[in-house]
Amino acid sequence: MRETTPDVSAEIVGELINLAGRQRMLSQRIVLHALLGLRGDEVAVGVARECLDMFTASHARLVEGDDHFPGVFSHALRELYFGSRKADERIRAFMELAANAFDSLGPVLAHRVGHDSASESAIARLTAAATPLLELLQAITQAYQDELRAVEAATAKRQAGIVDELAAISMRANIVALNARVAAARAGDFGREFAVITAELADVIGEMDRLVQGVVGKRTNDETPGRAPERHFGFRNQRMYARAAG
C-alpha cells in the first residue's frame, strides 16, 4: 500500500491529475511560441510569457500547495520531486531557461537585429530541454494517477470496515430480538405488550440489515458483478427466525 495522507480525497487527487497533465501542454506551448518569437512575432512571445506564468503557478500549487491543494503529500511524490529524479529542480531549471530565452528576444522584437546568436542559442537550449521535460511531466502525471488508485483503495478499505462493524451490530441486535420474541411468546398474555415492542425492534433491525446489505451489495457488484455477499447472509436468516419465534 502506498503511503498517502488520509485527508486527501479522490476529488482533490483528480484535480491534481488535471493540473499535472496541463503542465505538459503548457511546456509545449512555451517552446512553440518562443520559436515563433525568434521570427519576430511579438504576440507569440506575449503568449509564451503567459504560458510560463501559468506553468510556474501550477508547479507551485503542485509542490508547495495552497488553500485548496495539499502540495507534495506522499512519499512517492516526494521521491519523484526531490529524490533521484529531481523533478522540482529540473522543472525550475526549465522555467529559468524559458525566462532567459524570452529576455533574449528583446533585440529581435525591437527589430534592431535579425536572428542574433544570443537569442538563437537561448531558444536552442530551451528546445533541447523540452523533450526530456515532457517525459518527466508525463511521469509526474502518472504518479498522481497512482495516488488516485491508492486513495480509492484506502477509501474502499475504510468503507469495508464500517460495513463489517454495522453487520456485527446487526447480528447482535438480531440475537437480542430473537431472545426477546421467545420470552414474550412464553409469557403468554402478559407478554403481549412486550411482543409489540420486540416486533418494532425487529423492524428497526430489519431496516439496519437492509442498509448493510445495500452497501455490501453495491461494493460487491463493483468488485464482482452478479456475486452476492456471502458473509452477510446469516443476518437476514436470523431476522426471519426472530419473526418466526413470535
Within a domain: 4: no
Q: What is the mean pLDDT of the chain?
A: 81
The model's pLDDT over 113-132, given as tens digits with 9 standing for 90+, comes to 555 788 899 999 999 999 99
Q: What's the Cα-to-Cα distance from 184 to each of 181, 187, 196, 206, 238, rounded to whole Å?
A: 5, 5, 9, 19, 17
| Span 86-117, pLDDT tens digits | 999 999 999 999 999 999 988 766 665 555 78
Residues 82 and 67 reside in one and the same domain: yes
Helix (H, G, I), strand (E, B) or coil at 114: coil
Better-scored residue on pLDDT, 238 or 17:
17
Of 117, 133, 154, the residue at which a domain comes to its end is: 154
Give CA–CA dist 80/83, Å, rounded: 6
Same domain for 16 and 26: yes
Q: Read off the pLDDT band of 204 (50, 70, 90).
A: confident
Give the total number of structural domains in the chain.
Answer: 2
pLDDT of res. 220: 57
Q: Which domain holds residue 177?
A: 156-245
CB-CB contact of 38 with 16 (8 Å): no
**Residue 129 sits in a domain of what CATH number?**
1.20.120
Residue 168 sits in the same domain as residue 121? no
CA 165 to chain centre: 26
Between 3 and 94, where is the model more confident?
Answer: 94
- Are the C-beta atoms of residues 109 and 37 closer than 8 Å to each other? yes
Q: Classify residue 188: in a domain, yes or no.
A: yes
147 and 40 within one domain: yes
If asked whether residues 145 and 235 sit together in one domain, one would say no
Among 136, 154, 172, give the residue marking a domain's end. 154
134 and 117, same domain (yes or no): yes
Asked if the model's pLDDT at residue 208 lies above 80, the reply is: no
168 and 145 share a domain?
no
C-alpha–C-alpha distance, residues 173 and 168, integer Å: 9
Note whether residue 172 is domain-resident.
yes
Q: What is the pLDDT of residue 98?
A: 97
Whether 3 is in a domain gets the answer: no
Cβ atoms within 10 Å of 51's Cβ, excluding its own: 21
Q: Residues 157-186: pLDDT tens digits? A: 777 777 777 777 777 777 777 777 777 777
Report the pLDDT value the prediction gives residue 121, as an integer from 0 to 100.
93
Could you tell me which of 200, 216, 109 has the C-alpha nearest to residue 161? Answer: 216
Asked whether residue 2 is domain-assigned, the answer is: no
Cα–Cα distance measured from residue 177 to residue 171, given in angstroms and rounded to the nearest whole number: 10
* Contact yes or no for 28/35 (Cβ under 8 A): no
- Domain match, 137 and 161 both: no
What's the start-to-end Cα distance of the chain, in Å?
A: 49
Whether residue 147 is predicted with pLDDT greater than 80 in this model: the reply is yes
Over residues 24-77, the pLDDT tens digits come to: 999 999 999 999 998 888 899 999 999 999 999 999 999 999 999 999 999 999
d(C-alpha 30, C-alpha 58), whole Å: 14
The more confident residue out of 176 and 236 is 176
Q: Which residue in this structure is represented by grid cell 468503507? A: 159
Q: Domain check: are 71 and 131 in the same one?
A: yes
Same domain as 164, residue 139: no
Distance separating alpha carbons of residues 47 and 37, to the nearest angstrom: 10
Q: End of a domain among 129, 154, 179?
A: 154
Kindly state whether residue 55 falls inside one of the protein's structural domains: yes
**pLDDT value for 235:** 43
* Residue 204 and residue 106 in one domain: no
Residue 90 lies in a domain: yes
C-alpha cell read off for 21: 497533465
What is the structure's pLDDT at 234?
44
DSSP 43-98: HHHHHHHHHHHHHHHHHHHHHT--SS--SS-BHHHHHHHHSTT-HHHHHHHHHHHH
Residue 118 and residue 19 share a domain: yes
Cβ–Cβ < 8 Å for 2, 73? no
Q: Do the domain assignments include residue 1?
A: no
pLDDT digits 0-9 by tens, 23-39: 999 999 999 999 999 88
